[in-house]
Copies of this chain bind each other. A is one copy, B any other.
Amino acid sequence: MNDWQFTAADQQVLQRIMQLRRDVRGNRFCRDEIPAAELDRILQAATWAPSVGFSQPWQFVLVRDRAAREKIAASFAEENRKAAPLFADKKREQYVQLKLEGILETPLNIAVFYTPSPQPVLGQTSINEVGEYSVVCAVQNMWLMARALNIGMGWVSILDPSTVKAVLNAPADHKLVAYLCVGYVTEFCEQPELETLQWESRRPLPSVVLTDSYPAPES
């Protein structure tokens, strides 16, 4: 039995870590190595995440090799070049000026994979995606622990997963869930950069909460 009661002060600490966590990009990273003990705490935090059926379906590849990272950065560049024209006019001008990753500016990248089980997994029999979702919970734990350690993390999603898998020799049935850039930072931004730039505005809580159901469809 764990009957530990957290206090108002503890809740405040958690709240502040969540509020001050940022997606960090290459223009705010330092090159200093992450000490092994700090990295270990970030990875341990991943393993405390919930996982469907206690399946722990995650693997973490610590990518420091420069040649591998250059190939992955090239995949980012190509995918990013294809993405820009999808945005119209002013948004496109803004898009091409954004720094969206820190693959080469950080001392460490972490590729996070979902590893499916050959046997049926308790709780994953109706909705298969919950396996991947467990891995995402692990990533969010890593992100919060990194911020608590005053270490920055950025999630790069503008990538061709098949390229990343090929570079890292990942088995065919493993799925790339997240590609993370990790390092100390020159600063954590006050707000998400896309909020500051008014790319998107923050949605107030009442606008995303519904009571009991969506409105009944018009008949």
Q: Which chain A residues have a beta carbon within 8 Å of chain B's beta carbons? A: 1-6, 10-11, 13-23, 40-41, 43-45, 47-50, 52-56, 58-65, 68, 79, 82-83, 86-87, 95, 98, 100, 120, 122-127, 129-130, 132-133, 136-137, 139-141, 143-145, 147-150, 155, 157-161, 167-171, 177-178, 187-190, 192, 194-195, 199-200, 202-203, 205, 208-217
Contact = CB atoms under 8 A, between A and B. Distances in A.
Nearest to A117: B200
Contacts of A147: 6
A133 to B, nearest CB: 5
- How many copies altogether? 2
A202 B5 contact: no
A50 B63 contact: no
Given A133-B177, A169-B214, A169-B215, A190 B1 contact: yes
A179 B126 CA distance: 13
Nearest to A18: B48
A150 B6 contact: yes
Contacts of A217: 169
